[in-house]
Structure 1
Amino acid sequence: MSDEYQLRKDVDRFKKFLDQLESSISSKLDIDDFTISSWLDNYYTSGDIDTLLSNLVENIDEKIDTDTITEELRHKVDELELTTQVATLNTSISGKADKVHTHGWVGMILNKWITLYVNETLGLCELKFAKEFASAQGDTYYRWHNNIVPQKYRPVGNAFGAMNYGSVLRVQADGSVGGYFPRAMPNRFTGLGSVMWHYGVNMIPSNWYNYNNLIVNESDNQIQISNTGSSWGGYFANKTGTSASSISDVIDWDSPFRVELDIVTFTGNAYLQIYDGTSILQKHLSTDLNLRNNNHIIINSDAETVIWDVDDELVVTDEVALGTSRIGFRLNANASVTFKNFNIEQ
């Protein structure tokens, strides 16, 4: 009797468990018509998974030649070899060109109206100009900005460009910027223009013509010339590729040109001389140029004027249009000059 009772209790307990399982699966899996076999049909068994994996591996083997992949990878550079090659390349590049060096155009703002673009590889400059005017007179030259272009980049002679309204823009040899308008502009307007020029090719004279036997001593990149005679003597730059057997043979330098040099020291009546066969420009180092030793000289000649600058300041302007000229020094008796860094740009 007790065994039968226990069996009935076990059956009731199992039925209760099944009822609870059915209720739980129904609520959590949203199965209304509870049929275990049909529900399990929606899922893979472990055997199904094994079959799918086996088929996948077989398909991969048919599509991909693993031997080919292995061979290709064998030819690839490993990390150590790549690091070594990069280090070798860096060593080769080092010292060749730094990151700020450029062969292109570099812009510099000179003021709020003017920007200068420089290409040092080509030796070219382009000045961009944009300025607002209240009005302007017709056929009148205006000099708007004095010596604004840096000395290194100034044109040899005058450089001309165009502005709107049929106007002309000019950059002078001293770095000044100006222009003129073909007609009166009575109302407020903006002038827009540009000028391009070659800022010069340095030519250091390969030899000099020594007139009247001046004594010449060269040391420490300096040249000292002295006149111990009783009449004047000269020391004139001879253009590369030309020869000179007389003083007339050193009339070599076509205008426009720019002369640049440093006067270290001088004594007596010493002059810088430019002579084109008609006009002679002869500046006494002391009384005309006010030199006091260790001065930097720049002489600009264009189609209209010759401008003499000492230590970046305008000293003399000659209103003369020079032809082909000789350039150098004149020394009276007992005079001497020591100079360096002499070059002529054309």
Structure 2
Amino acid sequence: MKKIIIIASVILVCIIIILSLILRKKSAINTSSVSPFPTSLPLQESNQQNNRPLTQTENINQNLSNLPIDISTITPVETEDFKLQYSPKLNKIVVERKTPQAEEQFINWASQNQLFQLIENPDLTLIVDQGKNPDDFNPLLEFLNIFMNFGQGVVSSTQNLPIGQVTPFLTSNPQLNPTSNPNVFPYSTPLTLSGEKVYYAQCNGYGNLSLPSGCTLCQAGCGPTTVAMIAASYLGSNYNPKTIVDTYKSKGYLLGCDGSRYSDAKQVFQSLGLKTTDYLVFNAEKSDTVIPDLRKYLNAGWTFFTLARFCEGCSGHFFWITNIDSQDNIWAYDPYYGRYEIPYNENSRYPYPLYRLAFGVKR
């Protein structure tokens, strides 16, 4: 009997020891599985991933972002989400938001064009709400425009011919020289030329059209005639000098023997749904000086409503610049000087015209 009790006791002790060992091992396993740092392994992997060597593409992008860049050479861009242009005054690229996605789309655009230096770089890029471009407001320019009639289209109200008539027209055919035969004005109907551009001469079939404040279109109408050419070319033949003169009249804009204002022309374009740039202001400069600025915009699809002076002491004359060729000739649809040569090489009168102001227009 004693032997049986001893054997049973030994077996029981062995069972207890075995159970104890099993429970301890299971507890150790559970403790490991409920570690207070359950993400320690993924975090370690994440750190390793963050410290991984950059790919070749990422290395290139990082190197490009550190390269110097001449932002003054960047042409204006406008998309559905943003528009940007270089500001000489700020020496920055100014990006105007048009939609909530503007900044994201700008970053995409900069990346696609390998302009990584512009991304999140306040030294080179200024992002503002639409219409808040610091360059938009120029109090001096507005003062000159309102109080000094800067940008009139005739020399004075006593003259019967448009600005520049005192300067001989450069032509080898005396019959086509307006100084010898001022009553000859070709193209009594508008001409539609290659590229769907429409030309109107201010002294054509609309030349006798009376202006709201006196004089006729032929005498003082280079402004509305230029507006009509641009509007008809971009928007269709419904626009002609008469419809534009009627628009000026309905809006109460200055239009008569004292000429017209470039600011009113810009308002007309915008009311028709055309896009315009800010003013490019020149100090009666020759073509050599203005060509670099104009060419950048032309390459981006803009054309120019332009104000220039064609003789010493003259006021201003409006015309439409559409191209600058590889020899730096400025080609324009000129409602007066260009009526015998369409488009007209404005450089043919060098050193005139002297450029005073321009702004870009496009559909």
* TM-score normalised by L of structure 2: 0.22
Could you say which structure has the higher strand fraction? 1
Select the structure of larger CA radius of gyration.
Answer: 1
* TM-score normalised by L of structure 1: 0.23
